């Protein structure tokens, strides 16, 4: 599915809507260039998930945890040098745990990701504020989410 967002406000609305649909165990992968809007949309997804804290980029921490209506694990694997470092983080407890995982730069750790997941590629448009989201759902659960997003 392809969705065009004209500006920040539309990104925020979309993020909140998606956040409301997410459930325990969901894996959401975000890809796109530096400054594409991965962290920005995560903030809104967090609002949709009931996170009241301010979500910041986990670039240095690799992972930040938040309490929404369910736990939210926000990854940014940009600085990961080897996918094996994920073992030190205990990543599988998050991926196969009781919360929602949102992973920036997920394409860098593709082979470590659960097969079932939602993948969103964010591309900048012609204007500074325009974005296009390319959304793919792998697995039954995510096909449902995508249907509800339409």
Partner that binds at residue 11, options Mg ion, ligand ATP, none, CB closer than 5 to 8 Å by kind: ligand ATP
Residue nearest to ligand ATP (CB): 37
Q: Which of 11, 39, 44, 64 contacts Mg ion by CB under 5 A?
A: 39
Nearest to 89 by CA among 62, 117, 112: 62
By CB under 5 A, residue 132 contacts Mg ion: no
3-state SS assignment for residue 39: helix
Least CB distance to ligand ATP at residue 9 (A): 8
Site string for ligand ATP, 30-59 (x = CB under 6 A): --x-xxxxxxx----------------x--
Q: Choose among 23, 29, 45, 37: nearest CA to 119.
A: 29
Q: What is the 3-state secondary structure (H, E, C) of 6-20?
A: CCHHHHHHHHHHHHH
């Amino acid at each position: 599915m392809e969705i065009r967002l004209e500006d920040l406000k539309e990104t925020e609305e979309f993020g909140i809507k998606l956040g409301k649909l997410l459930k325990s165990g969901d894996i959401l992968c975000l890809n796109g260039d530096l400054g594409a809007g991965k962290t920005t949309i995560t903030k809104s997804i967090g609002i949709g998930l009931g996170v009241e804290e301010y979500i910041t980029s986990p670039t240095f921490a690799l992972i930040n945890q938040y309490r929404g209506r369910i736990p939210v694990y926000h990854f940014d694997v940009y600085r990961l040098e080897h996918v094996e470092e994920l073992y030190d983080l205990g990543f599988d407890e998050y991926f196969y745990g009781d919360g929602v995982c949102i992973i920036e730069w997920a394409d860098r750790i593709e082979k470590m990701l659960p097969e079932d997941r939602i993948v969103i590629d964010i591309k900048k448009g012609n204007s500074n504020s325009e974005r296009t989201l390319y959304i793919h759902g792998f697995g039954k659960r995510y096909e449902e989410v995508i249907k509800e997003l339409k």
